A = this chain, B = another copy of it.
Amino acid sequence: MATVDTPAGAEEDGGASDRAASPPGGSLPRLVDSTKLIGDPRDSAVVRASHRVYEHLVAMFAPGLIEAAFDLGAFVALADGPAGAAELAERLDADPLGVRVLLDGLSCYEIVYRESAPEGGHRYRLADGMAECLLPGGLYSLAGRIRYDRAIGWDAWRDLAQHVRHPARDDSGAYRANQLSAEDYESVARGINFWAPPIVEALAGLLTDTGWKEETPRSMLDVGCGTGIYSQLLLQRFKELTATGLDDPRIVPIAEEQAQRLNVGARFSPVSQDFFQQPWPGGQDLVLLVNIFHLQTADGAQELMHRARQAVREDGVVAIVDHIVDDDSEPHSPHNRFFRLFSASMLVTGGGDSFSLAEYDQWLERAGLCRTALVDTPMHRILLARLT
């Protein structure tokens, strides 16, 4: 019988190993046993601080190991079933020691599990859900996000200091909206579909609360739709809903193809347009903007809000899904923490910000809209608004 180095309940609760009595929001496994931080009390503040900072520095190991395995095709190979390091090394044309170290490292993040093999030695098995997550082609695959890291992430984060000195500015000296190339945007857009299911689950509930029913005909506009995943999951929920998606000409065919794949192609119309230059189709029951505001300058955000106001029906809903910092809520919540870190991600990609709830409220007010709901999802907040 194979025995497995799997911490109890790891697959059910998201995989951390030391989650007994885990705090709200869960915890990541640590690399420092801080119960052993004993010694001279005069040293203890700096020694504790150094252990903590060191642990953040070596966090670089995680993307390094995951992306190396991706580049080598290790996840594709493991999707066929558990295998030992020597066997995988041969298949991947890599070194047996190198592959053993790689897989042992991935087991520390519980991306693979290390099991005693029936024939002796160890073998490695992909954790539940990892195949679709780490192979190209899956609806919720991170492959695009990994390609983005490979193409620009590592350089951008290593060189963050230069972006702090000189954020992107236009000829007039003003900060710029995000400068990600169409190619990198395509990679990222394909790689972040996984955010959608819990967000759409929460959004569908909110729409139902406002009176949406499965069988009532409704229209929605998905501004900067990317792959269209948010529209498409809503279309699966609301059978008489039709959606128009606006995005870059490079992205539209991807959105069209994915709508077919999800069997909602007949009710989903992606349109290639610059949504700052061309008019938006009006009379919408829902205007949805997911991860669009954080790409803008404050002026661009205000312009989007005016345009949303123009496109929505009198009794319609504007829904914004984004990294909305809310200092009045717990400032160290996973949300506020992630949103602030995401600002730095905008800085390295040439513009944008995680704006505050106060800023959103101001843009809404100036556009003749008012906020009716603010709901947390795993890594975003949903803001609903109506005409004032």
Chain A residues packing against B (C-beta within 8 Å): 5, 7, 11, 13-40, 43-68, 71-72, 93-95, 97-99, 101-102, 104-105, 107-111, 114, 127-130, 132-134, 138, 140-142, 145-146, 149-150, 153-154, 156-158, 160-161, 163-167, 175, 192, 194, 197-198, 200-202, 331-335, 337-338, 340-341, 343-348, 353, 376-379
Contacts and interface: CB of A to CB of B under 8 A. Distances in A.
Nearest to A166: B95
A45 B194 CA distance: 11
Contacts of A333: 33
Given A33-B376, A49-B132, A53-B111, 19 more contacts: A28-B28, A28-B30, A36-B198, A36-B376, A38-B202, A45-B128, A47-B197, A49-B128, A50-B140, A58-B341, A67-B160, A71-B161, A72-B164, A72-B165, A93-B165, A98-B165, A105-B343, A108-B338, A154-B158
List the number of copies, as a whole number: 2
A331 B5 contact: yes
23 contacts: A11-B45, A16-B27, A18-B332, A24-B33, A26-B35, A32-B378, A33-B376, A36-B377, A36-B378, A40-B201, A47-B140, A49-B129, A54-B192, A56-B66, A61-B157, A61-B341, A64-B156, A64-B157, A64-B160, A97-B353, A101-B343, A102-B344, A114-B331
Contacts of A56: 62-63, 66, 109, 111
A201 B68 CA distance: 38
Contacts of A37: 14, 198, 378
A47 B133 CA distance: 8
Contact of A18 (B27, B32, B36): B27
A160 B98 CA distance: 9
Contacts of A142: 50, 53-54, 57
Contacts of A332: 5, 7, 17-18, 29, 110
Contact of A160 (B102, B110, B146, B344): B102
Nearest to A7: B332
Contacts of A68: 160-161, 164
A129 B66 contact: no
Given A161-B72, A164-B99, A165-B93, A108 B337 contact: yes
Given A23-B18, A340-B107, A347 B101 contact: yes
Contacts of A133: 46, 49-50, 53
Given A34-B14, A197-B39, A64 B98 contact: no
Contact of A149 (B20, B23, B60, B166): B60
Contact of A30 (B21, B27, B192, B346): B27
A197 B25 contact: no
B98 A48 contact: no
A71 B68 CA distance: 27
A239 B65 CA distance: 46
